[in-house]
Structure 1
């Protein structure tokens, strides 16, 4: 058995790991590498032949884990893509959205020739056809139900929180000599007591673990609940100052948890009613997926549904779908909350809302997620006094705030718990991926102190799992 980390090695994005059992090749995740954003075409430079991959296992829908699947299919992959049912539905939405983003960037950055084709170097990474070809390859598996991948490889999905349908992939491999080996890939690990989602389940005892390390060495803020944090911000921005609160949020996962938290606040009379706009077509469609798989939300959300109704719907909430209505939100002059994507401000309708409000002294912008270097969100959090939005340089007069209470990633303690629940005697090696270098090193140091063999693998290096 051999393991090669082809993505998210000593960086956060582009998760892609190759597990070889004899001649059988399994690709775990196939995400877009945002480090290559300046030349998105670099994502098609696979160092292996896509046609030689037998099967893909997808841990969850987020683009840094799923976003390069259509490229893999376009370049020759013919096998199945194994995932949970919610992951299949959410991934389809995200991949189609990626096509739209590719097309907008291509049209914006390139002039068309007379034949209507893009100039060289501006082609989208993949098109809608490739997404639908990819969706056709999905085979869905339930949680905690062993699935026979091949005659000697068994796969089990273990819930890990983080996102609806997200799973750790646990493989049990029987080699030709009859020796049984086990390896698990966490995907992204969620946190305990997160709105809407169940807590991560413990992993079984295994020989090898490939785990994310996003929050290695870092801890989430404690002392205030999600509701308490939101109440404090809303009370100041929308009630005392009679202004507006803009919350950039990823459409899938983060928005649903935020809407549910706001529902609890207003339904329980903890604040006077404030108008809430969710301005994201993708959020509308993905919320329907959350409703479809309502049996997978946590017990608290299910009890809320039984007592008070749909946790993603309340009186002062409006979902905005078309662009005309989105523009009308800017003309709503009463205090309000606007939730829009994208979370890092690198595209989407959120840029329109910022364009009209960044110079508004009575506007507060609340970040509830990570912003990568180089994004508009990163520059605002850094405190830049002037930012570039929609071809204009604008002074920042709005109040900028940030909270991690809605981060869907487990922190250092959660990551350590994930490992510690596994029998230390049996666990031979822990491979750390999906994190910035300092986070990985902090996590590795902590594991080493506890007596584990922790490795920060280099990209493309093969490890024999003896």
Structure 2
């Protein structure tokens, strides 16, 4: 059995791991790599022949895990993609959105070069046809249901929270009469997260490929999600009678935020404040959450039985059209605007910022990570002037940040997931999906606990 980390090796994005059992090749995740030194187009430079891959296992829908699947198919992959049912539906939604982003960039380039001409550097990585080809390859498997991939390999998906349908992939492999096991954690969620179930413990395995995103970092634990939101809303919308803008990713983060707000207002913990969810994708994703309602956590299911749909309440409006989105600027009562994207690098959120960044009575609350170079990063850094929609605008709005809605487990969560493994059985931990410092801090903690750890280099083959 051989393991090669082709993506998310000593970096966060582009998860892609190759497991070879005899001549059978299994690819675990196939995400877009959008590190700062790579262009989107370099994602088609696979370090293997896509036609040689026998099967793909997809841990969850996020683009850094799923976003390069259509490219893999476009370049020759002809096998099945194994995932949970919610992952299949959410991935289709995210991949179609990626096509729209590619096309906007391509047309933006063509406008600079002249009518009808594409900018060579901005050619779409794939088109809607390739996404539809990808969707046709999905074979869905429920949680905790062993699925035999072939005579020698059995797959089981274990719930890990993080996102609806997200799973760790546990593989039992029989090779030359010997049974071995390996688990790929995907992205590990956190306990007591709104809407999502807690991560389940993994069975004992021989090898563990673990994410390390929050290695060395710890979430705020002194306040709950609701307590944090109440404090911010009370100041921004009740006392100051202003507006609160929350940039939030459409899939996962928005649904958890809406549910938390629903509980706050339904239980009378704050006066009623108008809430706008301004993201067509968030509306579609919420429909998928409703479709798989049996997979949300027990608290959300109990709320549904007692008080109704956790994603609907009286003062909530899902904004559909662009025209309606622009009308929000004319709403002069206190309000909360939830809009994508979380790092402010596109989407309707830029319109809301354009009209509110110079509003002293506006608060912008970040609830997720903002990569270096993004508008969100510059605002969090405290830049007094920012560039939005071809304008230089002074920042008069209040900028706040909280990590209570981060869907990633922190250092303790990651370490405890590893420490659940019997150190006499677990031969090796491979750390992926993290920045260098995070990986090192988590590796040091694992070694202190008595585990053998490797931070793999990209494209290096490890014999297991």
TM-score range, shorter chain: over 0.9
- After TM superposition, give the deviation of residue 114 of structure 1 in Å: 8.3
Moved more, 415-424 or 59-68: 415-424
The answer (yes or no) to whether the contact 1:164–1:297 under 8 Å persists in 2 is yes
1:8-407 correspondence runs (5 A): 8-35=8-35, 39-111=39-111, 116-175=116-175, 177-407=176-406
**Following the alignment from structure 2 to structure 1, what is the Cα–Cα distance between the partners of residues 349 and 258?**
17
- Partner SS, residue 34 of structure 1: coil
The answer (yes or no) to whether the contact 1:83–1:139 under 8 Å persists in 2 is yes
The answer (yes or no) to whether the contact 2:102–2:122 under 8 Å persists in 1 is no
- After TM superposition, give the deviation of residue 119 of structure 1 in Å: 3.3
Map Cα deviations across residues 417-454 of structure 1 (whole Å, 9 max, x no partner): 11111111100100000111110000000000001011
Map Cα deviations across residues 137-196 of structure 1 (whole Å, 9 max, x no partner): 000000000000011000000000000000000000000x21000000000000000000
TM-score for the superposition, normalised by structure 1 = 0.98
**Following the alignment from structure 2 to structure 1, what is the Cα–Cα distance between the partners of residues 335 and 119?**
43
- Partner SS, residue 120 of structure 2: coil
- After TM superposition, give the deviation of residue 123 of structure 1 in Å: 1.0
- After TM superposition, give the deviation of residue 416 of structure 1 in Å: 0.9
**Following the alignment from structure 2 to structure 1, what is the Cα–Cα distance between the partners of residues 436 and 94?**
28
- Partner SS, residue 130 of structure 2: helix
- After TM superposition, give the deviation of residue 105 of structure 1 in Å: 1.2
Segments of structure 1 that go 5 or more residues without pairing to the other structure are none
- After TM superposition, give the deviation of residue 110 of structure 1 in Å: 2.3
Map Cα deviations across residues 206-258 of structure 1 (whole Å, 9 max, x no partner): 00000100110111001111000000000000011110000000000000000
**Following the alignment from structure 1 to structure 2, what is the Cα–Cα distance between the partners of residues 188 and 358?**
33
The answer (yes or no) to whether the contact 2:110–2:116 under 8 Å persists in 1 is no
- After TM superposition, give the deviation of residue 109 of structure 1 in Å: 2.3
Map Cα deviations across residues 72-118 of structure 1 (whole Å, 9 max, x no partner): 01000000000000000000000000001111111112238888352
The answer (yes or no) to whether the contact 2:109–2:118 under 8 Å persists in 1 is no
The answer (yes or no) to whether the contact 1:36–1:42 under 8 Å persists in 2 is no
**Following the alignment from structure 1 to structure 2, what is the Cα–Cα distance between the partners of residues 402 and 121?**
35
Alignment coverage as a number of residue pairs = 464
- Partner SS, residue 266 of structure 1: helix
- After TM superposition, give the deviation of residue 38 of structure 1 in Å: 5.8
- After TM superposition, give the deviation of residue 125 of structure 1 in Å: 0.5
Structural RMSD (CA) = 1.1
Moved more, 112-121 or 164-173: 112-121
**Following the alignment from structure 2 to structure 1, what is the Cα–Cα distance between the partners of residues 282 and 68?**
21
